[in-house]
Structure 1
Amino acid sequence: MQVRRGAFTAVVVAGSLALAACTGGGESPPSATSSTTSSSSSSTTSSTTTQSPSATKTVALPPEATKHTEAGAVAFAKYFLQVSSEAFVEGDGSTVRALSESSCTGCGAIARAADNEYADGLHPATARFVFRDSNVQPSSSGDLRVIDVIGTERSVAMVDAAGAEKRRTKAEPSWTRSTVRWTGREWVMQDFAVVKQS
């Protein structure tokens, strides 16, 4: 896995992958209006969930994501996005919660949106996220890594409970910033946000 170091000029937009998925793709996510400059100069201790799943039904935790290395942190951030995308197919955000610190607002938004996906009557037939590239922020080190993950949200069928296609989502770029923390035995998601280029 190639890991690049370098700075992206970015503005972190409050929101999450979940909000874009909920709107079906092309529409603007609700409440994605506040913006801040990303900074991860300090580490705080937060409680993590007690579950430690090794995989979802279709996404296996890669062995590399269990290592306390930069490449391991990147593999974990990529895995988190794959799990998040799959959570919408399953209508179950529990694995997202299990991989996240309880203080991660973006993670909580993804989990709640995934839990509620079936309530709207439609859900994606398959996971949308496809990995393209990653960038580890230069200020990252040791137990706290800030990773930009660039990918694509594929166009997929939105289906009803019977599996009948009702519409398709639009393909769109995906750029997220993940702050992952090593607990001493595993990586957990400490912060997650959707990023837009300035």
Structure 2
Amino acid sequence: MDRENTDGPVIRHADASDWPGVVGIDSLAASGDDARRASIRRWCEQGSVLLAEDAAGPLGYGVLEYTFFEQGFIPLVMVAPSARRQGVGVRLLKAAEAACATPKLFTSTNVSNHPMQLLLRRVGWKPVGLLDGLDEGDPELFYLCPGACPRRRAEAAGQAARRATDLSRASATPSLRCPTTASTSTRPMRRGPPVPWRTWPPGP
């Protein structure tokens, strides 16, 4: 996905050259936080940033990664103060949903972050869990996108159904048993043409 939405801001994948512009709309990075600046540069170089922009420049961005149990995860959505309450956050979440390559897509936010929770509920995301211990006194609330990558979900369901069918067929197939009792011999199997059945030990 290179571009999303012709009516309003354009959503595209940022590249390595975009990171200074992304820093400019990130309040933490713009205030001089070196760790956030380094993260933004790395995300842009990795192609993980979805950038919302118009003719005047960047409006917001979201990060889409696959580090959460090998599922899609959005660790950050940021909208420039001048572009808030204009639907930019909704467009970024929808773009991430469309771009996600795994059956499930998650994100999280602090319990105290009511604007983000409102945004997630607005686009249909469902709360699925609460984690204490990340930020003291402010638990992390996890959300699941209900519509992420329906094709991938269908493929995963189909694979599970095929595995169940294969197991069912295997259990229904009668096994071929040797007419004699099990042997404890460790000698290798004889190769070559079959020999007539004989009793052992041979008679006198």
Higher relative contact order (CA 8 A, sep 6+): 1
- TM-score bin, normalised by smaller chain: under 0.3
More helix as a share of residues: 2
Q: Max radius of gyration: which structure?
A: 2
TM-score, normalized by length of structure 1? 0.23
TM-score, normalized by length of structure 2? 0.23
